[in-house]
Amino acid sequence: MNQDVWVPLAGVAAAVVVALVLFFWSKGRPFAEGEVFRASRLSVGNRLFPAQVLITPTSVVHYTPELVGRKEHSIHMAHVASVSIDTNLFFSNVLIETTGGTAPVACHGHRKADAVRIKQLIEQHQTQYYRTAGSPAAEVSRG
């Protein structure tokens, strides 16, 4: 092949590489506004599509992007039974158990500070939930 063929092929290959990098980068951006914690791309299972956890005053959302689409698992604050942190050498895992008896939601590959913050936010929002509108006493007084 001569030089004239290699130049367009190199341009196409570079464009494909740039498109792939941008695609995987976009899949790793925070999926919502607020307290979103993203797993490290260096952790196992998060290299291309890092899992994310969103903590709101009413729910915990575990979000996992996929090649096409996504997986989301949402848990209302009233249904969070416990939050466990498993700290390893480099990354931490957060296990969120529900009152429904299903398998806990496992969030792998977070920094230790993020794992601690996830647990603090869940406990803070649960405390607020049970002190105000979500408490049984508030339900009786409204009824």
pLDDT value at position 1?
Answer: 53
Q: What are phi and psi for residue 12, nearest 5 degrees?
A: -65, -45
Structure-token pair, residue 33:
């506004």
Residue 76 in domain: yes
pLDDT tens digits, residue range 52-111? 999 999 999 999 988 888 899 999 999 999 999 999 999 999 999 999 877 788 999 999
pLDDT value at 42 more than 60: yes
- Give the residue, 54 or 142, on which the prediction is more confident: 54
Half-sphere exposure of 48 (CA within 13 A, CB side): 7
What is the number of other CB atoms lying within 10 angstroms of the CB of residue 9? 10
Residue 20 in domain: no
pLDDT tens digits, residue range 116-133? 999 999 999 999 988 886
pLDDT tens digits, residue range 14-34? 888 888 888 877 777 778 888
Residue 6 in domain: no
- The Cα 114–Cα 92 span in angstroms is 9
69: helix, strand or coil: coil
- The Cα 11–Cα 54 span in angstroms is 39
Residue 41 in domain: yes
Helices and strands of the chain, counted as H and E runs? 3, 7
Residue 2 in domain: no
- Number of independent structural domains in the chain: 1
Predicted model pTM: 0.74
- For the domain that residue 89 is a member of, what is the CATH number? 2.30.29.30
Task: Strand 70-76: give its sheet, edge to edge.
Answer: 35-38, 52-55, 59-65, 70-76
Domain that holds residue 111: 31-142
Structure-token pair, residue 131:
């002190």
Largest CA distance in the chain: 84
Residue 24 in domain: no
Residue 19 in domain: no
Residue 8 in domain: no
